[in-house]
A = this chain, B = another copy of it.
């Protein structure tokens, strides 16, 4: 009877399936059924088989490649019939009689090709069925019921247990056991938030019974309130501002922009280009606008080329201070440079004789929906409920493009509903090219300081260092710069078989010298906090920097371009706010001697703790050109994120629908 039923299922599925299988197609339902039938037949019915893994046993790569090369790609249509794929095989791992079996099944021949009993260490993956069974065991386990009663948790139907693999900690002999920890759901579906801490059980998966029990200590059960995430159960607090029914979700009043919870000002300067100021986030819980960033802009863009010959050695440009990232902003076009529904703002600079010059559509502002997910969770473990809550992401982008001669620099400032500010730069346009007699690399006997990208054409090696000025005002003006140093700690407790873990050693920078950072040199997280304010939980209110691409300068420190570009000596610097310290390469950059750079200002080693502070962050791209970048370069992007870190009491977009 059972076999007949199975056969029907197989027949049904065979009918529904693709008639031209690809050799790498995953196993179909009918193939899985077939595996089940074949394997079950091969073992005595008294043996309980658990199918821990059933997957495609891939054909040899060479067979796949040979099949693929003779399988015409979908052009032209109609597609000719492809050659037959290599034989379909399944690789199966079953657990039976406390042993792990590896079985290879030939699906075409409906037979077992090979079997092996695995004698080594370790076990196959847990199955969903095993996990489900194991996590039900505590519900009828008397000691556990007693532990619940001890904690005043009287409704066993509200208990939700989770099975955890427990790894290996040097035991000479292992069993196939897992640890079980339980949660008390009562009042929430977010049971992970309500762990019954201090109690753990050990389950032998092969025997499917509890073989260890430990109720070591009692602590508070976290409350259910505030843990809900289903839209249907949440009463959203009143939105910060009325949403528009039609048109863009943002308003532009002059240069002030309001969108979602964000308010900020989009400034313009002929040298810096776009300037984001007074960015604040309306906190629904606190019912107020909270400041984040007083100002953010690219203070300098240093582009040293790496060809030391007579006609090229001097090319070490400071595109901000020598030319002007704002002056050379390009008019943007809807539908290509920006989405068709973008809004635009013009910019004006003074020409040589002082007359205003308009850059029409110099800024575009648009809501970006890129198919991203703002947050999500699927909860399949709760009996008789399948929860899927997903919030799709929309962000707001302020875009400009600075075309400094050949290069086009796309600068996006992006604001997210969750409180992040991102800045993404895109490099496109045309490479700086050098003519040569070479047409093939074989002719080249010495360094050409770049790549032969076309006949007679070298794309010369260079760097792009974008140095941002980030004047944080995290929930107020007085801020501190904090390094979370990650340090390995040796476990001293002899009862614990684990030897090490990492912890956070928080270090607040007292002076500028404490805040000079080369990213990547040691494991660190960098934050700007408001030391005068704390969350309800007592955490420091902060934002952290999630850095973008890095490229430390490789010129020697006493080389002239590096003296002038000494602000790239570190990736991050922090200085006290000083109105006159705006341009990291100095106010007068053309032919400068490096006597007015950030590196010079910072020598004073001023106090920066609990002050109005400015972070200077350099994002670097090391650029060895390639042929793809000729005659025009596909955009290469990189960006950083300023992300709220204990700035909010809780997820600020929980109530968003």
Contact = CB atoms under 8 A, between A and B. Distances in A.
A496 interface: yes
A358 to B, nearest CB: 7
A41 to B, nearest CB: 11
Contact of A270 (B53, B177, B490): B53
A121 B579 contact: no
B647 A64 contact: no
Contacts of A223: 455-456
Nearest to A499: B559
A604 interface: no
A396 to B, nearest CB: 11
B588 A100 contact: yes
Interface string A229-268: 1000000000011100000000101111010000101011
A52 B462 CA distance: 27
A196 B539 CA distance: 62
A370 B405 CA distance: 27
Given A35-B354, A366-B371, A588-B120, A348 B26 contact: yes
Nearest to A59: B579
A455 B77 contact: no
Contacts of A405: 162, 192, 381
A540 to B, nearest CB: 9
24 contacts: A18-B254, A26-B347, A36-B353, A51-B351, A61-B477, A74-B251, A100-B588, A121-B592, A165-B323, A167-B561, A226-B454, A308-B489, A308-B498, A330-B380, A330-B388, A337-B376, A371-B399, A376-B635, A377-B428, A441-B538, A451-B646, A461-B502, A500-B556, A520-B520
A213 interface: no
Interface stretch (A106-114, A508-516, A619-627): A619-627
A122 B588 contact: yes
Interface string A334-369: 011111001000011111111111100000001011
For chain A, what secondary structure do more than half of its interface residues adopt (helix, strand, loop), or is it mixed?
Answer: loop
Given A196-B435, A269-B26, A650-B454, A263 B372 contact: no
A489 B321 CA distance: 27
A192 B431 contact: yes
Number of copies: 2
B73 A25 contact: no
A410 interface: yes
Given A190-B430, A219-B435, A125 B20 contact: no
Nearest to A520: B520
A307 interface: yes
**Interface magnitude class on chain A:** 35 or more
B179 A440 contact: no
A428 B314 CA distance: 48
A50 interface: yes
Contact of A560 (B75, B170, B461, B561): B170
A607 interface: no
A556 B488 contact: yes
A30 B350 CA distance: 11
Contacts of A44: none
Nearest to A162: B405
A560 B229 contact: no
B595 A120 contact: yes
Contact of A454 (B222, B289, B428, B586): B222
Given A375-B633, A612-B61, A497 B560 contact: yes
B323 A24 contact: no
